[in-house]
Structure formats: C-alpha cells, structure tokens
A and B are shown apart, each in its own frame.
Chain A
C-alpha cells in the first residue's frame, strides 16, 4: 500500500534552516508528481510546493518562493523540502502528498503522509 513518511521537523530559531524528508513506498515514486502542503496549528491547509516526476519542474506558493526548495531523489524514493530563513509564521505541520490524477492538471491529493511538525521560535 502507498506509504509516505515525513521526517526532519523540530524546533528551530528564526532565520535558521531545516530540511524535511518524505520517504515513499508502495508505488512507483519516480512516476508521480509530489507536493508539500502545510498546516499551521489550529489553522487550515496551505499548499507549499510541487515537483515533477523527474525533478526538473518546480513551482512554489508565495510563502515559499525564494526561501524553500523542493527536490527529490528517485533512487532513494525520497522527497525533500529545504527551508531557509525560517520565520515564526512557518510554524506548521508539513505534509507530503501525492498528486492523485493522471491528467496534467489534476492536482488533487490521493495520499498524504502523517506530517512532521516544524516549530520556529526564539
């Protein structure tokens, strides 16, 4: 069965960096578009970034542009999110999610990890 397991979260100070990982199993990772979505404590969902199956195409939400980098290692079946210049408002649970639809524009999410909590605090 499809499994996505995030790791790398923790407590960091404002301005610092953190790299999140998402280990995928149960499907052919290298053929799927992958996303990061986050959720601040007690708040709604916010889309963060997307990456194409081969890693060449990436797109970011406004809050991530210029600070976050999405990447993947298909040989390790792992998705990454490098987060730099972290701010207090980046505090959230970060989920990796798999694009569900086969069609190009079908960016709904059919599988989610359990999330990893990032807390940015001084």
Chain B
C-alpha cells in the first residue's frame, strides 16, 4: 500500500490551524497512525486507529478519515510542533509509511 502525504513542506505561523493529508493507494480501513519526528529524535506516536490520540498527546492534535484520505489537524500550532509528520498504515503487509510532511516556521 503506497501512502502519499501532502504537502511535502508546510510553512505556517505559530497559532495557525494546520491540516496535513495522507492518502492510501487502497483501502486500509481505519488502520492508520500518525507520528511526529523532530531532528535527531525518534518518531513519537500521535494518533492511532485514524482517530485515537495516544497517551499524553495534547488535545490540539486530532485525526480524521474519509475513505482512503486521512487528515491530521493541529488546532493551534505551538512552537514545539515544528517537526516532520508521518502517516503509517497497518492494514496490509508490508507496513508502509508516507514520505512525510515537514511543518516549518513561516
């Protein structure tokens, strides 16, 4: 399953609402996770099962889905949210990730 994320880079200002997209090449149900990765760090789980926030993740992070289109929304971007975001499907083997969206400061 090919996961396509868009855009590749997003330039935003702190406080803005941000929407990141991830499209699956075939149905993955709701078997979709989102991760955040900062430079030099391991990825951190944000969302699983398309909608469910992981433990300790701020409420400003939310996930939604419509068919094979998935969205990660950051309600009001904080300075610590500038990072790369990846989606990952776990419906079919092999597990696959999207190419990532970098959220940078405008």
Residues of A bordering B, CB below 8 Å: 35, 44-47, 50, 59, 61-62, 95, 100-101, 105-110, 112-115
Contact = CB atoms under 8 A, between A and B. Distances in A.
A45 B45 contact: no
Contacts of A109: 33, 35, 43, 45, 88
A115 B35 CA distance: 16
Contact of A62 (B35, B49, B94, B100): B94
Contacts of B9: none
26 contacts: A44-B86, A44-B100, A45-B35, A45-B88, A47-B94, A47-B96, A59-B94, A61-B94, A61-B95, A95-B42, A100-B45, A100-B48, A105-B31, A105-B91, A106-B31, A106-B48, A108-B33, A108-B48, A108-B49, A108-B88, A109-B33, A109-B43, A110-B48, A112-B42, A112-B44, A114-B42
B85 to A, nearest CB: 11
Given A109-B45, A112-B43, A45 B97 contact: yes
B4 to A, nearest CB: 12
Given A44-B97, A95-B42, A108-B45, 12 more contacts: A44-B99, A45-B35, A45-B43, A45-B86, A46-B97, A50-B95, A101-B49, A105-B31, A106-B90, A109-B35, A112-B42, A112-B43
